[in-house]
Amino acid sequence: MKLKIRFTPSARAQFLSAIAYIRRDKPSAAAGFRDRTEKILRRLEIFPESGRVIPEFPELPYREAVIPPYRFFYKVKGNIIWIIAVWHGAQLPNEPELSESTKEITGTDDSVAGITRENALLLLREHLKNEKLVAHCLASEAIMRALAAKFEKDQDLWGLAGLLHDLDYEITGEDSASHGAVSAKILEEKGVSSGIADVIKKHNAEGLGLIRSTIFEHALACAESITGMIVATALIYPDKKISSVKVSSVTKRMKTQHFARAVSRERILECEKTGIPLDEFVGISIKAMSEIADELGL
């Protein structure tokens, strides 16, 4: 039986900071590290015992997969391989800390969505090689989580819809007759909830002959569209930082037709169909994107 990989929250944070650290040093090396990680973790799903016992702590019920320059410590529980810590090879493992991390292990994190955030990110990386596109998906995720919090909806579900909405982009491009529908098919085959697949299809309602009607659907349409306007605005600031972007400078530029002309103003204005006025929506979006500025490289 094929097992599934999950990261504990602290291991996930360590993994993301490892990627950020490598990227700062050498962007191309970050992509290579991610690819190697994905390959080795996929192999672990089939051969969970293929990692070695931790040499420093052979008595602990953990194993490790070495993906230079990092060490991934893991524990198999049921049909899940829990990555409990991701440490740099030069770091000396510390037993109490490792034992502490297992307390974060739970088995219920993908019960509604049908996929964990970690696996969604791996799936996205498998399909999208363009870093700007991945950044666009991460930005959409951050905004969707912020909107879900505002509406007291399921942040994981909304976040995943944002993260995965352009999954098929490198297959379909802007082909309006299939963009979104191909993503939905891939996701359904992976067992992802139809709630996520449907809303992703409807982010291209125009091309697929569908109609957006729910708050969730309008939220994804406006969230993924505003990312382009905020990035374009940040890039004309001297420091090129999202945290410097002001709401008024985004809304003012929305009125200039030639500025970021590919971004649909009409879709951004769908925020009003969720009940949020434009200014407030832009403010929520800037804040959400600033919080992951490191990952976006802005």
Please tell me the count of residues contacting Fe ion according to CB under 5 A: 2
- How near is the Cβ of 114 to Fe ion at its closest, in Å? 21
Residue 246: DSSP 8-state: -
Between 109 and 166, whose beta carbon lies closer to Fe ion? 166
Residue 48: DSSP 8-state: G
Is 141 an interacting residue with respect to Fe ion (CB under 5 A)? no
Distance of CA 293 to the CA centre of its chain: 13
Between 100 and 170, whose beta carbon lies closer to Fe ion? 170
Q: Compute the distance between CA of residue 217 and CA of residue 270 in angstroms, rounded to an integer.
A: 10
Contacts of 294 (CB under 8 A, 6+ apart): 20
Q: Which long-range contacts (CB under 8 A, 24 or more apart) does 244-249 make?
A: 245/286, 247/279, 247/282, 247/283, 247/286
- How near is the Cβ of 225 to Fe ion at its closest, in Å? 8
Chain position whose Cβ is nearest to Fe ion? 224
- How near is the Cβ of 133 to Fe ion at its closest, in Å? 8
- How near is the Cβ of 162 to Fe ion at its closest, in Å? 9
- How near is the Cβ of 203 to Fe ion at its closest, in Å? 7
Q: Compute the distance between CA of residue 279 and CA of residue 283 in angstroms, rounded to an integer.
A: 6
Buried b (16+ CB within 10 A) or exposed e, 131-144: eebbbbbbbbbbbb
Between 18 and 254, whose beta carbon lies closer to Fe ion? 254
Between 19 and 221, whose beta carbon lies closer to Fe ion? 221
Residue choice 156, 198, 217, 224 for contact with Fe ion (CB under 5 A): 224
Which helix (DSSP H) or strand (DSSP E) does residue 204 occupy?
none
- How near is the Cβ of 205 to Fe ion at its closest, in Å? 13
Residues 149-168 that bind Fe ion (CB under 5 A): 166
Between 118 and 224, whose beta carbon lies closer to Fe ion? 224
**What residue spans of the chain are helical by DSSP H?**
9-25, 27-46, 95-101, 117-127, 131-151, 155-164, 169-172, 181-189, 194-202, 205-208, 215-236, 247-254, 265-268, 278-290, 293-296
Binding part of the chain for Fe ion, among 156-164, 170-178, 219-227, 246-254 by CB under 5 A, reads 219-227
Binding part of the chain for Fe ion, among 9-17, 98-106, 223-231, 253-261 by CB under 5 A, reads 223-231
- How near is the Cβ of 212 to Fe ion at its closest, in Å? 14
Strand partners, 7: 83
Binding site for Fe ion (CB under 5 A): 166, 224
